[in-house]
Chains A and B, each alone.
Chain A
Amino acid sequence: EVQLVESGGGLVQPGGSLRLSCAASGFTFSSYWMHWVRQAPGKGLVWVSRINSDGSSTSYADSVKGRFTISRDNAKNTLYLQMNSLRAEDTAVYYCATILTGFLWYFDLWGRGTLVTVSS
């Protein structure tokens, strides 16, 4: 079955760190760009970061640049998001997503998401 499964979310204090993982299965993970998209409670979707297929190129939203790092391990079929210096406004469900049917930047495969709560 083609799927993405996020993990690693939880409650963290402001200023803390967390690493999210996204396990891919059912497709050739190493061939696809991967993205993180987040959604604060009751709010809309916000693109966070992307990484190319071999991990050599990344980009970030301005709101997380310098604090978050996207990476991947193609041998483990896993995408990561290292989140440092977390703020209350980082509280959100974090989704990993990709497109399997082309080489563009919309998303036809999403994970179910993992909730990150930043609070003291």
Chain B
Amino acid sequence: AIWMTQSPSLLSASTGDRVTISCRMSQGISSYLAWYQQKPGKAPELLIYAASTLQSGVPSRFSGSGSGTDFTLTISCLQSEDFATYYCQQYYSFPLTFGQGTKVEIK
């Protein structure tokens, strides 16, 4: 299985901040990486796929980068609705695996 290390696990930030979340793979996965946002009591929502392609309807303040083993999700100007938990997911091979999650909380 491909293991993922997502960091940080908790991120305290203020509205308007630029935040970055990292996801590192145990082996190369090309660009087969997705990012999700999850709010309490809700199902995850797809933000980015193919490491850097924005899902339709997702605000442009979200961006993704990376390939191989190191990936980053960036929120350029944090909005109130962005306080949530974020997960990366590799879809290079089965079993599909997710990062441990990053909770973005209000500072």
Report if A and B associate in a common complex. yes
Q: Does B95 contact A (CB under 8 A)?
A: yes
A113 and B42 alpha carbons, distance in the complex (Å): 8
- Contact in complex: B100, A44 (CB < 8 Å): yes
Beta-carbon contacts of A28-52 to B below 8 Å, as 1s and 0s? Answer: 0000000100000000111100100
* B42 smallest CB distance to A (angstroms): 8
Q: Does A104 contact B (CB under 8 A)?
A: yes
A112 and B98 alpha carbons, distance in the complex (Å): 19
The interface residues of chain B, by DSSP majority, are classed as loop
A14 and B81 alpha carbons, distance in the complex (Å): 39
- Contact in complex: A112, B101 (CB < 8 Å): no
A85 and B42 alpha carbons, distance in the complex (Å): 28
- Contact in complex: A106, B98 (CB < 8 Å): no
- Contact in complex: B46, A45 (CB < 8 Å): no
**Residues of chain A from 30 to 77 with CB closer than 8 A to chain B in the complex:** 35, 44-47, 50, 59, 61-62
- Contact in complex: B32, A110 (CB < 8 Å): no
- Contact in complex: B32, A104 (CB < 8 Å): yes
- Contact in complex: A106, B34 (CB < 8 Å): yes
Query: Using a CB–CB distance below 8 Å, which chain A residues touch chain B?
Result: 35, 44-47, 50, 59, 61-62, 95, 97, 104-108, 110-113
- Subset of 14 A-B contacts with CB under 8 Å: A35-B96, A44-B99, A44-B101, A45-B89, A46-B98, A50-B94, A95-B43, A95-B44, A97-B43, A107-B44, A107-B46, A108-B46, A108-B55, A110-B43
